[in-house]
Structure 1
Amino acid sequence: MMLKREDLQAAADAGVLDPREIDGLLAFLLQRHQQAQSATPHFSGSHVLYYLGGMLAISAVTLFTTLAVEALGMGALLVLSVLYALAAVGAAVVLEKRGHGIPAGIFATLTIALVPLAVFALQHVLGFWADGPTAEHYRDYHTYIDWRWILMELSTLAVGVVLLWRFRYPFLTMPIAVTLWYMGMDIVPALLLQGGGGSVELFGGPAWQLRKVISLVYGLVMLLIAFFVDLRSRHDKDYAFWLYLFGLLTFWGALSMMGSGRLADKLVYLAVNFGLVFVGAVLGRRVFAEFGALGIIIVLGDLSRNLFKDSFAFVVVLTLLGFALIAAGVWWSKREAAISQRLRTLLPAQLRELLETRS
């Protein structure tokens, strides 16, 4: 809502506000508006520069760490990563005190991204990974699935929770969500490894089937955690977005790799994806609808190539179904407010407040 001086003057003329308070109230509201603008992401030139610079810095110490950096020695890498992290968290504190919320959150996020690098160097200094052929270089962290990454991931989650509690900026949940996603893949060899040595075949046999089931359950747990966070922060900033995104990536990816190719499995998969679209509509989360729509397209494309490849009726039915959905959307738009209000009275208070906030 836009508030002008004329509005306050009108309130003073009506006896609601003391005329001497107009200037002080305007200054106070202007300061609050500026603070909210600095802490709330929106598409402006300064914010684009903030995030672009932050992502480049985070990528430099995570995705693009080269062999030349490791050539300095693991001891030097450990010292550099710790100093870099301390400088980043110090910058976050200073920027937060000066009211620059978004860059403060980006520097705090950079600190979290440096944790696995520091732990990786420390483990090598202590000689823990002498038998790790797929954990020789830090860049392997983003390439290979290995149980040895678990300690790095647990350390990252611990530091991430502490910094999120301290700074309270939603962007900090991004490295936390990515780490949870990585852990969902690395936990399988950690569970299957016997005797602390050897290797596990992850892409064939019983281990592959178990890996898909674990990933499916793990993704579902991430989504439940995201929903809980969404409920708790329903009147605050959006802390659940990244958890929803990577939870869906884990759950939907595992679901898409399951099944035997039978028609019954495809129909179950189709139903689940329709369910994701519905959940996205209810929660006001577009990411659910995007994953669900992609799954629906995959199934319909497979059916058109195989089961109904010579059927003109399949095209006609899909076209009519599309028209029917559009008509249903028009019908729903006219009655949405009344139906939603009636249905929300049946929901718990926290969930009802969340839906009202999202809508």
Structure 2
Amino acid sequence: MTERFDAKDLSKAVNAGVLQPGQDQALLAFLRQQPQAQGGFQLAHVAFYFGALLIMGAMGWLLTQAWMRIGDGALLAIALTYIVAITLFALSLQRRGQAIAAGVLAAVAVSIVPLAVFALERIFGWWPLQDTQSDYHEYYTQVQGGWLLMEAATVLAGVLMLRLVPFPFIVMPIAVALWFMSMDLSEWFHGEVFSWEQRREVSLWFGLGLLLVFLLVDGRTRRDYAFWGYLAGLIAFWGGLTLINSDSEVGKALYCLINLVLMGLAVLLRRPLFMVFGALGVAAYLGYLSHEVFAESLLFPVVLTLIGLGVIGLGLVYQKRREQLSNSMRANLPQWLQDALPALRN
């Protein structure tokens, strides 16, 4: 939790004998010289991320067929211009203390790397797919082994960018490229076109693996790189899990149980992201019950209302006693598991 102090607070500390006369002014001058904390999420930060996502979309899966017709050389020149210009702008912002704006722009630059590699492969005849007229937006919608070089280059560019601009959001394009690579490599090793069911399974297991990796990263770095890793992992894992069709009631109940575990992890790790995905999964299961199992029951909406009120009540309790609940849950775990868990962040 971040506290703010002003001259009046320090003056009260002098009157209370906590500080000696004159120390309050020296301390106030020192605090004013420190860089402002970036912890609070402000409206300007929303604008930074939203603007970055717009650019990523424009230069990614929204790229139109018209761009394919301008020629591979022009496409490469434009992509490289974007990457270099955005990277230089990000470095300039970083030197001026605008860490968040610099970080999201650096992530944008990384996200354009696949486009540059795409054009480069086609220029030098390295394009591995038989279809020479492939659209770039298919990189985001289709599983193909031919995308592997683009994905590997994106991961490498992201790691290098983290050295220049150490900002957690850059983890996101790296994680997305790795997610794509997991499916493309699976198809490459499998030797045939992957079915929709196989893609869901690969996504589920890759997401679970990504969550475990960032569980090891969480709490062990000065910056919170785990947040975006958790988000990417949850999207892959929860998305694959949710899209699996189960005809048995046991399978659907197991799906609900897994989502309840995600909600428990939110308390244990103090990560609201897990609560959001877990709550969505539980809500989906309750929606299934209301439409399929209890469609004729008059009491079911009433029961759901009571459950909803109970959840809100639990949320209020958690808000007030977050630290006690997290510490209590950890205290009941084996010591080896407590040692493996990341340190709690405020």
Of 86-95 and 46-55, deviating more is 46-55
Instruction: Show the counterpart of 1:196.
Output: none
Partner of residue 97, structure 1: 95
Q: Report Cα offsets for 1:183-208 as digits up to 9, x if no partner.
A: 34333322222xxxxx51523xxxx3
Structure 1 segment 320-331 matched on structure 2, within 5 A: none
Counterpart CA distance in 2 for 1:173 and 1:328 is 33
Q: Secondary structure at the match of 1:353?
A: coil
Moved more, 239-248 or 181-190: 181-190
Tell me the CA shift for residue 330 of structure 1: 7.8
Distance 1:260 1:305 in 2: 16
TM-score, reference length from structure 1: 0.80
Secondary structure at the counterpart of residue 119 of structure 1: helix
Q: 1:77 to 1:27 in 2, by over 3 A?
A: farther
Give the secondary-structure state (helix, strand or coil) at the position aligned to 2:293: coil
Q: Give, in whole Å, the separation in 2 of the partners of 1:124 and 1:87.
A: 23
Deviations 1:286-323 (A, max 9, x none): 22222222222222332333333334565566566556
Aligned-partner residue type, residue 5 of structure 1: A
- Structure-1 residue corresponding to 2:174: 176
Please name the residue that 2:233 is paired with: 247
Which of these residues, 182, 207, 212, is aligned with residue 224 of structure 1? 212
List aligned pairs for 1:270-281, cutoff 5 A.
270-281=256-267
Aligned residue type for 2:111: A
Distance 1:228 1:102 in 2: 24
Q: Which residue of 1 is the match for residue 4 of structure 2?
A: 2
Between the aligned partners of 2:18 and 2:240, the Cα distance in structure 1 is 64
| Structure 1: segments with no counterpart, 5+ residues | 194-198
Maintained 8 Å contact 2:252/2:285: yes
The 10-residue stretch of structure 1 (170-179 or 134-143) with the greater mean CA deviation from structure 2: 134-143
What number of residue pairs does the alignment pair up? Answer: 339
User: Structure 1 pair 67/3, CA: closer, same or farther in 2 (3 Å)?
Assistant: same
1:54 maps to 52
Q: 1:49 to 1:335 in 2, by over 3 A?
A: closer
Q: Which amino acid aligns with 1:217?
A: W
Q: Secondary structure at the match of 2:154?
A: helix
Instruction: State whether residues 189 and 202 of structure 1, in contact with CA within 8 Å, keep that contact through their aligned partners in structure 2.
Output: no
What is the 5 A alignment of 1:166-205?
166-193=164-191, 200-203=193-196
- Structure 2 unpaired stretches of 5+: none
Q: Matches of 2:52 and 2:171 in 1, distance apart? A: 14
Aligned equivalent of 1:351:
341
Q: What secondary structure, in the 3-state scheme, does the structure 1 residue paired with 2:57 have?
A: helix
CA contact (8 A) 1:153 1:183 kept: yes
Moved more, 130-139 or 237-246: 130-139
Select the residue among 107, 123, 126 that pairs with 2:124: 126
One-letter amino acid of the counterpart of residue 232, structure 1: R
TM-score, normalised via structure 2 length: 0.83
Q: CA RMSD in A?
A: 3.2
Tell me, yes or no, if the aligned pair for 1:105 and 1:171 is still in contact at 8 Å.
Answer: yes
How many angstroms apart in 1 are the aligned matches of 2:263 and 2:219?
A: 20
- Cα 1:59–1:31 shift into 2, 3 Å: farther
Cα shift at 1:229: 2.3
Structure with the bigger RCO (C-alpha within 8 Å, sep 6+) is 2
1:105 counterpart letter in structure 2: G
Q: Retained in 2: the 8 A contact 1:276–1:289?
A: yes
Equivalent residue, structure 1, for 2:282: 296
SS at match of 1:68: helix
